[in-house]
Amino acid sequence: MKQQRIGKRTIRFRCPPSILAWSGIVGQKEGEGPLGSCFDRVGQDAMFGEKTWEAAESAMQKEAIETALKKGNIRKEDIDCIFAGDLLGQLIATSFGLADFSIPLFGVYGACSTMGESMGLAAMAVDGGYAQKAAAVTSSHFASAEKTFRFPLDYGNQRPLSATWTVTGSGAVIIGEYHPSGQRQVRITAMTAGRIVDYGIKDSMNMGACMAPAAADTLTAYLNDTGEDAESFDKIITGDLGYIGQKILIDLMRKKNIDISLQHTDCGIEIYDKETQDTHAGGSGCGCSAVTLTSWILPRMLSGEWRRVFFMPTGALLSPISFNEGQSVPGIAHGIVLEAGV
Amino acid sequence: MKQQRIGKRTIRFRCPPSILAWSGIVGQKEGEGPLGSCFDRVGQDAMFGEKTWEAAESAMQKEAIETALKKGNIRKEDIDCIFAGDLLGQLIATSFGLADFSIPLFGVYGACSTMGESMGLAAMAVDGGYAQKAAAVTSSHFASAEKTFRFPLDYGNQRPLSATWTVTGSGAVIIGEYHPSGQRQVRITAMTAGRIVDYGIKDSMNMGACMAPAAADTLTAYLNDTGEDAESFDKIITGDLGYIGQKILIDLMRKKNIDISLQHTDCGIEIYDKETQDTHAGGSGCGCSAVTLTSWILPRMLSGEWRRVFFMPTGALLSPISFNEGQSVPGIAHGIVLEAGV
């Protein structure tokens, strides 16, 4: 098999798979934000008809896939496998959300970078001929994440300004073989997988700072591997660095003489209104990049506004146990190249 | 790209990748078991030189990869990516164990089925040309798992006879392109990815019963997809069904008129001596199948004793939260076909 690698870390797909269909399901707060009108559904409350936050998150994942299938007019029987994950211990939002589909499942975990990881692996599966159609789905839920990583909501604790707000939402994409249709479509042309980058930061209330070095590492690897400039992208969009992480990423890239200040934005910045929504440093969670991709990035690429986007979900690799045992918060970022064309 | 699928769920690799090198690192109890002399290293205690159980598990993962690289005379720079996971929330054993390698990482989670998932994805990456060499590694640790899923060890609680004993161990394999060498080698020729199977069992102290239906589902899918008989395998080896799960699996298969009683064994049965080690229903954990593969199955295949093995790690998809919220314990099993030859 001919190697599909460029440089040390980048994969170029031989027949770049298409994103055939997608969906974004979010909670009430996300519905009140700047992208509110873009989502497929905004929940009336945080429970999505369930009794626990975890079950609510599962319900969102299920609805995200069902909605994507419906919008794409694709039968669930035609999905060969699902790559999916969430932030909860042992991926329970995923397990209980996707069980009913009876579709082979690859559980993946890259913290908030999981949508990049799952889309990259799904693209590999399709491009390599191991699946005709594969789904990638991730979710996060403000309340289940706060309970897991910080404090139960009922404590009413104060959040520092550097903290991000975990997005309640689930985004799904269906990835399949490319067929020319005469219609504009978005394809996944390349991937640079992330590696763990640990600057030794221990502040779990400043995850933007923890993840920005990993984003700089992955973006630099892609540019070095391909010889491309940052200007070759209409947009470079990270997952959930927020305002603080964005500043650090731009600074780190500038030290390498790469200016991404014009191209860069971040899903965690776009999803909330900083002034009116009290979300401090921005949005986060593996639902954040997933729903911003499906409800904001992909539509803009289809409309012709952007042709080429470097989509790079970012993850902070901590657990309550590692944090309480005094470990640092390493970061990881998986980069995906999206290109629109007919 | 020509489809590499047979039937609904099985992938046949076009140029089956080789398992180039492997290792198994275990704790003291595993060293005292029937496979004790087979492991690359048996730790003197449960801490592996670290201060916490979680850090000890990370140390085992790191040593497992380092040992496999050394045994295979492979440089870490030649590993394009690692597929890895463990049982702990947010995969911290993996994140902190593998950070120093600076190798692109795909975190995966399939509970105790994770070694099957990671090996299948690594084989896909190599066979598809997305990696020349990829590593797959998983770990579990008795104490970190008990703390996570059951009771802290200091409680000294009683374990029912249906409970399994989480293996302290980490196994790694390096998967790469096949090159004829005149030497006997083991290749990964096919994979049947698991789907979630939930019989509604809620007893987390009887995980064999929770996982056996998933193992039956995956094995049946493979046999249906390929038209092969169970007899086409010298051995069918599940991950950690233990004695109770084995009986259920054999019964479930018999109902489909498939008798696997002669071929079947289970890593959780092989790794401990039931009579003398007080391990009740057998071993479990994603280290269980990993170290039994690398220290017992692969050597027997290389020696010529077995030519063809269906290796099927099994996972129970629960978390302490899902369990305490009254959810069932669904199972999943990923099947990998191993074939020895020159």
SS (H, E, C) B56-113: HHHHHHHHHHHHHHHHHCCCHHHCCEEEEEECCHHHHHHHHHHHHHCCCEEEECECEC
**Cβ-based contacts under 8 A for chains A and B:** 188
What sign for the dihedral angle of Cα B184, B187, B1, A340?
A: negative
3-state secondary structure A262-328: CCEEEHHHHCCCHHHHCCCCCEECHHHHHHHHHHHHHHHHHCCCCCEEEEECEEECCCHHHHHCCCC
Q: Which residue of B has its CA nearest to A8?
A: B80
What pLDDT, on the 0 to 100 scale, is given for residue A112? 97
Helices (H) and strands (E) in chain B, counts: 12, 17
Q: Which residues does chain B have within 8 Å of residue A129's beta carbon, measured at their own beta carbons?
A: 1-5, 14, 128
Cβ contact B82:B64 at 8 Å = no
Alpha-carbon distance A177 to nearest alpha carbon in chain B (angstroms): 9
* Residues of chain A below pLDDT 50: none
**Cβ-defined contact of A106 to B128 (cutoff 8 Å):** no
Alpha-carbon distance A11 to nearest alpha carbon in chain B (angstroms): 6
What pLDDT, on the 0 to 100 scale, is given for residue B1? 60
Q: Which residue of B has its CA nearest to A105?
A: B195
* C-alpha A4 chain-centroid distance: 24
Contacts for B221 with CB less than 8 Å, ≥ 6 apart: B7, B8, B9, B10, B192, B335
Q: Which residue of B has its CA nearest to A332?
A: B105
- 10 Å Cβ neighbour count for B51? 10
Cβ contact A43:A68 at 8 Å = no
**Cβ-defined contact of B5 to A320 (cutoff 8 Å):** no
What's the rounded Cα separation, in Å, for the pair B75 and B223? 38
Amino acid, res. A306 = W
What pLDDT, on the 0 to 100 scale, is given for residue A29? 97
Amino acid, res. A32 = E
Among B90, B128, B195, select the one facing A318 at the smallest CB separation: B90
Alpha-carbon distance B51 to nearest alpha carbon in chain A (angstroms): 10
**Cβ-defined contact of B193 to A98 (cutoff 8 Å):** no
Alpha-carbon distance B140 to nearest alpha carbon in chain A (angstroms): 13
Say if the ipTM goes beyond 0.95.
Answer: yes
What sign for the dihedral angle of Cα A273, A277, A278, A284?
A: negative
Collapsing DSSP to helix, strand or coil, A103 comes out as coil
Closest among B62, B291, B68 to B171, alpha carbons compared? B291
- 10 Å Cβ neighbour count for B334? 32
Contacts for B81 with CB less than 8 Å, ≥ 6 apart: A193, B103, B104, B105, B106, B122, B125, B131, B134, B135
What's the rounded Cα separation, in Å, for the pair A15 and A17? 6
**Cβ-defined contact of A5 to B322 (cutoff 8 Å):** no
Among A3, A177, A317, select the one facing B90 at the smallest CB separation: A317
Q: Which of A2, A76, A87, A130 to mutate to test the interface with B (most CBs of B within 10 A)?
A: A130
Angle at A209 between CA A208 and CA A210, to 5 degrees: 90
Residue recorded with tokens 């002669």: B262
**Cβ-defined contact of A330 to B99 (cutoff 8 Å):** yes
Amino acid, res. B68 = A
What pLDDT, on the 0 to 100 scale, is given for residue B72? 98
Q: How far is CA B275 from CA A176, B34, B167, B182, B269, in A?
A: 52, 11, 17, 42, 11
Q: Which residues does chain B have within 8 Å of residue A121's beta carbon, measured at their own beta carbons?
A: 106, 121
Q: Which residues does chain A have within 8 Å of residue B195's beta carbon, measured at their own beta carbons?
A: 102-105
What sign for the dihedral angle of Cα B268, B269, B270, B271?
A: positive
Single pTM value for the model: 0.98
Q: What is the DSSP string of A130-174?
A: S-SEEEEEEEE-HHHHHHHHS--GGG-----TT--EE--EEEEEE
What pLDDT, in 10s, does the model give residues B146-201? Answer: 888 888 788 888 888 999 999 999 999 999 999 999 999 999 999 999 999 999 99
Collapsing DSSP to helix, strand or coil, B101 comes out as helix
* Residues of chain B below pLDDT 50: none
Percent of residues, chain B, with pLDDT higher than 90: 93
What pLDDT, in 10s, does the model give residues A116-140? Answer: 999 999 999 999 999 999 999 999 9
Closest among A296, A320, A283 to A40, alpha carbons compared? A296
Residue B205 region by backbone torsions, left for phi larger than 0, else alpha for psi between -120 and 50, else beta: alpha
Token couple for B36:
């004790």
Collapsing DSSP to helix, strand or coil, B316 comes out as strand
DSSP B297: I
Collapsing DSSP to helix, strand or coil, B271 comes out as coil
Alpha-carbon distance A340 to nearest alpha carbon in chain B (angstroms): 21
What pLDDT, on the 0 to 100 scale, is given for residue B207? 92
